[in-house]
Amino acid sequence: MGLIALLWGFAEATVFFIIPDVFLTYVAITQKNKHIIIKMLCLTLIGALIGGTLVYITALINHDMMKSILFHVPSVQPYMLDHVTKAMNDNPFIGLISGPLFGIPYKMFAFAAPQYLNLFLFLICSIPARLLRFIIVTIIAYWLSHHVLHRLTYRKKVFIWLVVWSIVYIIYFSVHGI
């Protein structure tokens, strides 16, 4: 399970389009052990930071190639880069944290970051930017599963989880395209 967390964090920070929150919420609804959940959060963060570093460095070395790769990722759109540029011009830290509120992938901020932050500052800013949403959705999923819906069977919880994430992505793809 730890390898999945690490790889999902890495993949979504680079070329995958399904956010790690999907995996983290699954762990939260199926695990009562908070230490396992915290471990998955940390491993997902580490994977995201490694992926963000790869995108950051690749953007420094070959900006056009990295841009081309990103624009081939499903749902990554050119207008997202305009949003990132404006957000990073205003305040890179706030931009990184608020990006998910607008459906802007972290990989886009990692791509633009070399123009605004050195790698160390980018990674320091990335920690709360990535963890904030990870923790919030994981806590909500854990609380709903183990307190509000605690009488439901495993299968019913997983079904609800699947329906919720399906709805989230139907809405996301209808807004941002595929």
Looking at residue 156, its pLDDT comes to: 97
In this prediction the pTM is: 0.93
User: What are the tens digits of pLDDT across the range 167-177?
Assistant: 999 999 999 88
User: What are the tens digits of pLDDT across the range 76-94?
Assistant: 999 999 999 999 999 999 9
Q: What's the domain range around 126?
A: 2-176
Q: Is 126 helix (H, G, I), strand (E, B) or coil?
A: helix
Check if the beta carbon of residue 67 is closer than 8 Å to that of residue 121.
no
Alpha carbon separation from 161 to 20, 21, 105 (Å, rounded): 14, 11, 22
pLDDT tens per residue, the chain (178 residues)?
Answer: 999 999 999 999 999 999 999 999 999 999 999 999 999 999 999 999 999 999 999 999 999 999 999 999 999 999 999 999 999 999 999 999 898 788 899 999 999 999 999 999 999 999 999 999 999 999 999 999 999 999 999 999 999 999 999 999 999 999 988 8
Residues 6 or more apart whose CB falls under 8 angstroms from that of 4 comprise: 23
Q: Residue 101 and residue 170: Cα distance in Å, rounded?
A: 16
Count of the separate structural domains present in the chain: 1
Looking at residue 9, its pLDDT comes to: 98
